[in-house]
Chains A and B, each alone.
Chain A
Amino acid sequence: MPLTYISTTTASGSASLDITSGIDSTYNEYQFHMVNIHPATDSTAFGFQFNADGGSGFNETITSTIFKAEHNEGDSGTGLGYHTASDQGNGTAYQRVSYDMEIDSDEAYSGILTLYAPSSTTYVKHFVAKGNYIHHSGKYSQNTYVAGYINTTSAIDEISFKMESGNIDAGSIHMYGVG
């Protein structure tokens, strides 16, 4: 599977990381590798949204699911379950890949988001993401799995990543084309 590097976007006290070029019909699939995404604000969520070609604003309609496995450092809690507060039913919010993130200086989110056929003008756009981070309450390792679709047949050519509250203190997002 050829994986071709396209760009890196690095946060430094950034309100968002917006990738506004490089998503086109060149590749049928794109991957976004999110590495050590660290929030400036405690107990917030990290997520993404899209903009359709010719549209304005990161506010496309998304229907999604999210579930997670969790286990704390104290070995007193484990779980596997759906997280209703982080899904969307034709919503236009930023789609969460994490929530209630810990802000300690050595803690961050890392994961991979795959976006399928963003340039299609026939189909909705599917995505899947998996990652790991530390929950702010009780030092839980949170392994999240997100999937869904952008409910538009317009081409998607921009993506934005941000925290629900506060800046992205640090972290990098590497964009690759697949194929």
Chain B
Amino acid sequence: MALTLISTHTASADSSIDITSGITSTYDSYEFHMVNMHPANNNVNFTFQVNADGQSGFNETITSTSFRAYLKEDGTGGTLGYDGGADQAEGTAYQRILSTGTGSDNDQCVSGVMTLFAPASTTYVKHFTAVGNGTDHGEYEVTSYMGGYINVTAAIDEISFKFDSGNIDAGTIKMFGVS
């Protein structure tokens, strides 16, 4: 098994899920499987940020892209396009993983997988990619594709996930090492 489960983190009305151990040089890449992330607030975005080894705060510099395909449940509005509201240019905000204003209805949530490449490198910036699917508050199905890099050569050893407003009502994040 080259996909090794490192840890599981389950939200229960938490402001964030912070993974502060297990990201090391043991693996060359890491996968974060986000399953049924359900927000406490309506119309909010699921996001992540990282912290470099020896630093404090989830506030590293990120340049990223985001595009999405979406369709309303009534079959109208099918669109593919870049989402300028979900990218960053040398920003330090939490990066949107799923480019949708997730609804807070009981059955609405977002799920997806993010890959973080070589976080322990002290030579290169850290690339990441993600794809996910969510239920928008306006009854849209939204599939998001995101990529970018953490523009730092310091090792990354911590990651934080949260909604950009309100708590994570429920959901599970599994962290895997790929070796």
Interchain CB contact under 8 A, B121 and A36: yes
Given known pairs A5-B179, A78-B84, A141-B63, the reply for A69 and B1 (CB within 8 Å) is no
A130 — nearest CB in chain B belongs to which residue? B129
Given known pairs A33-B29, A131-B127, the reply for A1 and B3 (CB within 8 Å) is yes
Nearest-neighbour CB distance to chain B for A8, whole angstroms, equals: 9
Number of contact residues on B: which range applies? 35 or more
| A71 on the B face (CB < 8 A) | yes
Interchain CB contact under 8 A, A105 and B123: yes
Q: How far is the CA of A70 from the CA of B179 in the complex (A)?
A: 29
Partner of A139, one of B63, B65, B84, B131: B63
| B151 on the A face (CB < 8 A) | yes
Interchain CB contact under 8 A, A3 and B2: yes
B151: A residues at CB distance < 8 A? 73
A172: B residues at CB distance < 8 A? 28
Interchain CB contact under 8 A, B89 and A134: no
A105 — nearest CB in chain B belongs to which residue? B123
| B64 on the A face (CB < 8 A) | yes
Q: How far is the CA of A45 from the CA of B67 in the complex (A)?
A: 23
Nearest-neighbour CB distance to chain A for B120, whole angstroms, equals: 11
Q: Which of B18-26, B52-60, B140-148, B163-171 is found at the contact surface with chain A? A: B140-148
Taking each of A2, A5, A106, which has the highest tally of chain B beta carbons within 10 Å of its own beta carbon? A106
Interchain CB contact under 8 A, B90 and A143: no
B152 — nearest CB in chain A belongs to which residue? A106
Total contacting residues, chain A, CB less than 8 A: 40
Q: How far is the CA of A38 from the CA of B153 in the complex (A)?
A: 14
Q: How far is the CA of A108 from the CA of B81 in the complex (A)?
A: 26
B80 — nearest CB in chain A belongs to which residue? A80
| A112 on the B face (CB < 8 A) | yes
Interchain CB contact under 8 A, B125 and A106: yes
| A61 on the B face (CB < 8 A) | no
Interchain CB contact under 8 A, A36 and B149: no
Q: How far is the CA of A163 from the CA of B123 in the complex (A)?
A: 20
| B178 on the A face (CB < 8 A) | yes
A74: B residues at CB distance < 8 A? 89-90
Interchain CB contact under 8 A, B89 and A71: yes
Interchain CB contact under 8 A, B89 and A75: yes
Q: How far is the CA of A5 from the CA of B4 in the complex (A)?
A: 11
Given known pairs A78-B82, A110-B127, the reply for A141 and B2 (CB within 8 Å) is no
| A35 on the B face (CB < 8 A) | yes
| B100 on the A face (CB < 8 A) | no
| B115 on the A face (CB < 8 A) | yes
Interface residues of A in 78-119 (CB under 8 A from B): 78-80, 105-112
Q: How far is the CA of A70 from the CA of B29 in the complex (A)?
A: 23
Interchain CB contact under 8 A, A141 and B117: no
Interchain CB contact under 8 A, A71 and B115: no
| B118 on the A face (CB < 8 A) | yes
21 interchain pairs, CB-CB under 8 A:
A4-B1, A33-B178, A35-B117, A36-B118, A69-B147, A70-B65, A71-B63, A71-B87, A71-B88, A73-B63, A73-B89, A78-B84, A80-B80, A108-B127, A110-B118, A130-B129, A131-B127, A132-B148, A141-B147, A142-B65, A174-B178
- Where the two chains meet, the residues of B that have a C-beta atom closer than 8 Å to any C-beta of A are 1-3, 28-29, 63-67, 80-82, 84, 87-90, 115, 117-118, 121, 123-125, 127-129, 131, 145-149, 151, 153, 178-179
